[in-house]
Chain A
Amino acid sequence: MHKTAIKSVLLLIMLLPAALLGADVELVFWNFWDPKFILPVIEQFEKDNPGVKIRNEQVNWGNGLDKIVVAMANGRAPDICELGSTWMGKFMAEGALLDVTDKFSDLKPAYLMWEPATMNGRLYGMPWLAGTRVMFYNRALFKAAGLDPERGPATWAELLEAAKLIHNPEKGRYGFGMNAGEGHILYKKFMPFVWGNHGQILDENDAFVFDSPQTREALDFYLKLKEYSYCEKQDLLDEAFKRGKLGLAISGSWNFARYPIDAPELDFGVALMPKPAKDKGFSTSFLGGEILVLFKSCKDPDAAAKFIRYLTTVENTLPITREALVSFPAHKDAYSDEMFSRDPRLGVFVEQMKTAIHPPVHRLWIELEKIINTTVEKAMYGEAPDAVFAEANREYERVARWQSVVRTAARGSIGVSAVTAGIGKSAEVAAPAATSQNGGSTQILLLALIGVGTLLNAVLLMFLIYEVKKKAG
């Protein structure tokens, strides 16, 4: 009697994990959002799709990319992951993501932002969110300076003039808010001036053409603007703007979630980014967003794709974006929402998004980003343009040479790369076999390492035993 009870309990304990594991597919979903926005969507999805479980895990912007990369290196990548669109170039080129061309291609007409999810004609992710930056201006300061408060600066000259008129540091008023002291995001603020002036980072053949008369002209203007600027980090610029100390600043829609609550009396307008001149160039801004991807190790790509299709619908994404207002859904239908008509200023973002440019989707983007940031930052701190552009070119040469060495080695050993991934199935099929072979040698190396570790440990133990014996004896 007693024994059977114990036995049945033991049996239950033994079977419990099996029951938990066996029944459902559990997909791990990494994202950067407050779980309170994501969990209700997941709950509803799980209700509609019995047998599929989604485990939500939040990562943060501070170290999210590190975590993803480390997890990938350890073979513990999540099944579904949210990636910043500027990271996509690297992840796609390195062959880390699952080709999802046949899973999402039919959605193309309904969504924006396909460019950062596409490489060599193949699709490696699903656009989720999109966002851009526009020109914020303080209407009260505009009025005080004798400027028209109903419209923002349309050209570079008007921007400079407005900043000049408002700038008065003695009275605690500054013309323009310029990002400084955070080198890693300068390109987002500077590149719109280059792009609008028909300048580029890479041309159609992927040659580095950053050093051009167009870019130099933009830099020249940017440095002139700096004379009438308050130089700080983004969050402190937003703070200064909120306190009515800044005339103009390039910022994002997240301020609409804060300014009306924190500073209801702040009278501000937003405008499209200024263009170089009335008859020259065009208004453009930085376009970025979030892409949902499946890693190659995804346990169930079909179920994951189903979840992504569910999550990216307007009904499920709009509530998330409405709360934080950091970015907007990539689904085009979202823009007919009353949120955009209620505040026409949000409509400016929609308008800007049409002309906004996404940075090059390139395997070297992370390195290119640094080159551009360094160039702008050094120029801002007084180095001559000739010197900084010369250094940018040198740096690009170095990076490209270094990477081509790595790439050649990579192609030789695992047979998958940006180029071969584009060729199609044959490379895809060939890759796993080659990988497992090389994986074998890595494993041997790891085993050897563990062996050495154990040996050293044993030595340490013997030493300890010896010491203890000596003391005792």
Chain B
Amino acid sequence: MIGKSRRIGPIEKSQQVLLFLSPWLLTFAVFWLYPLLFSLILSFCDYDVFHPAMFSFAGFKNYWRLLGDGDFMQSFANTLIFVVGTTPVTTLLALALALMVNNVSRGSGIFRSIFFLPSIISIVVTATIFKSMYSPIGALNRFLAIFGLPGQAWLIEKNLAMPAIMLMNIWAYTGYYMILYLAALKAVPRQLYEAAEVDGADEWQQFRYITLPQIHYMTIFILVVNTIRSWQVFPEVFTLTRGGPVGSTNTMVHHLYETAFRYHEMGYASAISYVLLAIIMAFSLLQMYVLQGRGRDGGSRR
């Protein structure tokens, strides 16, 4: 290591690094940084795509308007319900499945594939299948009828549409997070369990004091990523309900989409997207702060 750094000077090396990074940096700038900045500026402007020449500065008008916009407030509440309802369930379920698959002595490969299968299907396809399953004469109601339970119009009832979307979302994404958990579980050194067994620790104690701390960083990762994704929920809503019935499944990104592409108010839509960005950032930072702190205290003594 030391020998190498003497042969190649630091500046030369940094140039090499930059050379290799440049394709990424370029795409980052063009497809990420530029739109990000552009939409930030847009959020302070009035911009109707039919009148590009009318581009005018509007100050905080768009942000003020958000506060008085009932549809936006409803979409915020809906999204919050969605996040709170799906993220913990998906994470816990993924962990439970991963533990089970990890402990199955035979055929773990089959289980792994089966549980992972939903996440390789396009979410639009999944949603289309669920749409017919959720219909009053669909598969779900017929399944319920076997147990003598009354059928429901899942996507038509105001109070059932959002839970129905949440259920589908959980079904579709649990497998993916299970695979991530499984990878983390496989990396836990076997010796730790052997040592614990010698010390007489029972299964729960092993899980609590070895498994959980060892997969702590994966848990943070999954929670943060899952929360971000849940805040941005869109294709499920667009395919299943388009925000209906009566706005009960209108999520923030769907509201943003409608504002931008149905009513063509790009400035206002950009303001919504920046509010969403702020929310997501706040949530992620909070999660990382809380979880990482705890990880250090009660965590792995390496």
**A-to-B contact residues, CB < 8 Å:** 63, 65-66, 69-70, 72-73, 90, 94-96, 172, 180-184, 230-233, 236, 239-240, 243, 245, 366-367, 370, 374, 377-378, 381, 406, 409-410, 413-414, 434-435, 438-439, 441-442, 445, 449-450, 452-453, 456-457, 460-461, 464-465, 468-469, 472-473
Q: B246 on the interface (CB 8 Å rule)?
A: yes
Known interface pairs A181-B155, A240-B137, A472-B13. Does A449 touch B243 (Cβ–Cβ under 8 Å)?
A: no
Q: Which of B28-53 contact A (CB under 8 A)?
A: 29, 33-34, 37-38, 41, 46, 48-53
Q: Of A72, A95, A370, A456, which one neighbours B49 at CB under 8 angstroms?
A: A72
By the criterion CB–CB under 8 Å, are A473 and B244 in contact? Answer: no
**B-to-A contact residues, CB < 8 Å:** 5, 10-11, 13-14, 17-18, 21, 25, 29, 33-34, 37-38, 41, 46, 48-56, 131-132, 135-137, 153, 155-156, 158, 161, 241-246, 261-264
By the criterion CB–CB under 8 Å, are A453 and B135 in contact? Answer: no
List of B residues within 8 angstroms of A73 by Cβ: 49, 52
Which one of B56, B135, B263 has the greatest number of beta carbons of chain A within 10 Å?
B135
Known interface pairs A236-B131, A409-B56. Does A472 touch B51 (Cβ–Cβ under 8 Å)?
A: no
List of A residues within 8 angstroms of B262 by Cβ: 65, 366, 370
**Cα(A452)–Cα(B10), bound, Å:** 29
List of B residues within 8 angstroms of A441 by Cβ: 55
Total A-B residue contacts, Cβ distance less than 8 Å: 134
By the criterion CB–CB under 8 Å, are B18 and A457 in contact? Answer: no
What are 19 inter-chain pairs, A to B, with CB distance below 8 A?
A: A69-B50, A69-B264, A180-B153, A231-B153, A232-B153, A233-B155, A240-B135, A410-B51, A410-B54, A414-B54, A439-B53, A442-B52, A449-B37, A453-B34, A456-B37, A461-B18, A464-B21, A468-B10, A472-B5
List of B residues within 8 angstroms of A90 by Cβ: 50
**Cα(A308)–Cα(B56), bound, Å:** 37
Q: Of B18, B21, B49, B245, which one neighbours A70 at CB under 8 angstroms?
A: B49
By the criterion CB–CB under 8 Å, are A377 and B18 in contact? Answer: no
Q: Of A172, A366, A450, which one neighbours B137 at CB under 8 angstroms?
A: A172
**In the assembled complex, how far is the CB of residue A187 from the closest CB belonging to chain B, in whole angstroms?**
14
By the criterion CB–CB under 8 Å, are B33 and A438 in contact? Answer: no
List of B residues within 8 angstroms of A236 by Cβ: 131-132, 135
By the criterion CB–CB under 8 Å, are A183 and B244 in contact? Answer: yes
By the criterion CB–CB under 8 Å, are B5 and A232 in contact? Answer: no
List of A residues within 8 angstroms of B53 by Cβ: 413-414, 434-435, 438-439, 442
By the criterion CB–CB under 8 Å, are B51 and A69 in contact? Answer: no
By the criterion CB–CB under 8 Å, are B156 and A180 in contact? Answer: yes
**In the assembled complex, how far is the CB of residue A307 from the closest CB belonging to chain B, in whole angstroms?**
25
By the criterion CB–CB under 8 Å, are A453 and B33 in contact? Answer: yes
Q: Of A69, A239, A445, A469, which one neighbours B261 at CB under 8 angstroms?
A: A69
Known contacts A66-B261, A182-B241, A439-B52, then 9 further A-B pairs from the complex at CB < 8 Å, ordered by chain A residue:
A70-B49, A94-B51, A406-B51, A409-B56, A414-B51, A435-B53, A438-B54, A465-B14, A468-B18
By the criterion CB–CB under 8 Å, are B29 and A457 in contact? Answer: yes
List of A residues within 8 angstroms of B261 by Cβ: 63, 65-66, 69-70
**In the assembled complex, how far is the CB of residue B172 from the closest CB belonging to chain A, in whole angstroms?**
19
Top 3 closest A-B pairs, CB basis? A438-B53, A472-B10, A73-B49
Known interface pairs A465-B18, A468-B14, A472-B13. Does A367 touch B263 (Cβ–Cβ under 8 Å)?
A: yes
By the criterion CB–CB under 8 Å, are B245 and A180 in contact? Answer: yes
**Cα(A201)–Cα(B161), bound, Å:** 30
**Cα(A337)–Cα(B155), bound, Å:** 41
Q: Smallest CB-CB separation from B48: which chain A residue?
A: A406
Which one of A232, A370, A435, A469 has the greatest number of beta carbons of chain B within 10 Å?
A232
List of A residues within 8 angstroms of B10 by Cβ: 468-469, 472-473
Q: Of A377, A409, A445, which one neighbours B244 at CB under 8 angstroms?
A: A377
